[in-house]
Amino acid sequence: MLAAILYAIPFLMQGLLTTIVVSLLVVVLSTAIGGLMGIGLVYGPAPVRWLVRGFSDIVRGIPILVLIFFIYYGLPIAGLNLQPFSAAVLALTVFKSAQVIENVRGAIGSIPRGQMDAGKAVGLTFAQRLAYVIAPQAIRRFLPPWINGVTDAVKGSALVSLLGVTDLMHAMQQVIGRTYNALPLYVLGAIIYFVINYGLSALSRMLERRFSYIRE
């Protein structure tokens, strides 16, 4: 069994690299896109709010797996032929953006209205109010659930193996296909995922404790 694990390690590390790259891309893109859309949902004019609300509700109502297949197999009819890697990143970004939108909405919603009014009263522009008044307070409420959501990106990235992207999950499958030694490989892979995600959720809990003083 030890030999099987030693044999597998280099392949798994290669796959892990892809898992990390996919997760990082998804987290960065979705935070930017979801952040903007979240601000649109809270402060935007009615049509923007409806669009963002509709986007978020639809995306959160579809299984991630179906979203991945839909984007990979469905977009080509709109003339957009994506490589498996890009399709996977796009699908997970769409899924994760919807989550970030809700994180932003929750974080901003927790801040008393008076803060925005006070900013207005001292003559700050909208961008200044957002940057100097709302954001510094909202970030404490935003960070813990957002980091927790990063684990969803890492876990969701395991589904990209189904498009043939060689991430950690797919690397495991490939090694098992050669060695027919399934259990130790799956357990090893589970441990790797566990270490990454447990680290992230521990960080999330730590931040939550650190910011707990703002609980009313």
Q: What does the binding site for another protein look like in residue numbers (CB under 8 A)?
A: 58, 61-67, 69-70, 73-74, 76-77, 79, 151, 154-159, 161-162, 169, 172-173, 176, 181-183, 185-187, 189-190, 193-194, 197-198, 201
- Name the minimum Å distance from CB 102 to another protein: 12
Nearer to another protein, 130 or 169 (CB): 169
Side-chain-facing half-sphere of 15: CA atoms under 13 Å: 25
Sign of CA dihedral 12, 15, 17, 19: negative
Nearer to another protein, 72 or 133 (CB): 72
Nearer to another protein, 190 or 214 (CB): 190
Q: How many CB atoms lie within 10 A of CB 216?
A: 4
- Name the minimum Å distance from CB 172 to another protein: 8
Integer Cα distance of 93 and 104 in angstroms: 16
Integer Cα distance of 70 and 210 in angstroms: 40
Q: Which two tokens stand for residue 48?
A: 């923007």
Nearer to another protein, 43 or 69 (CB): 69
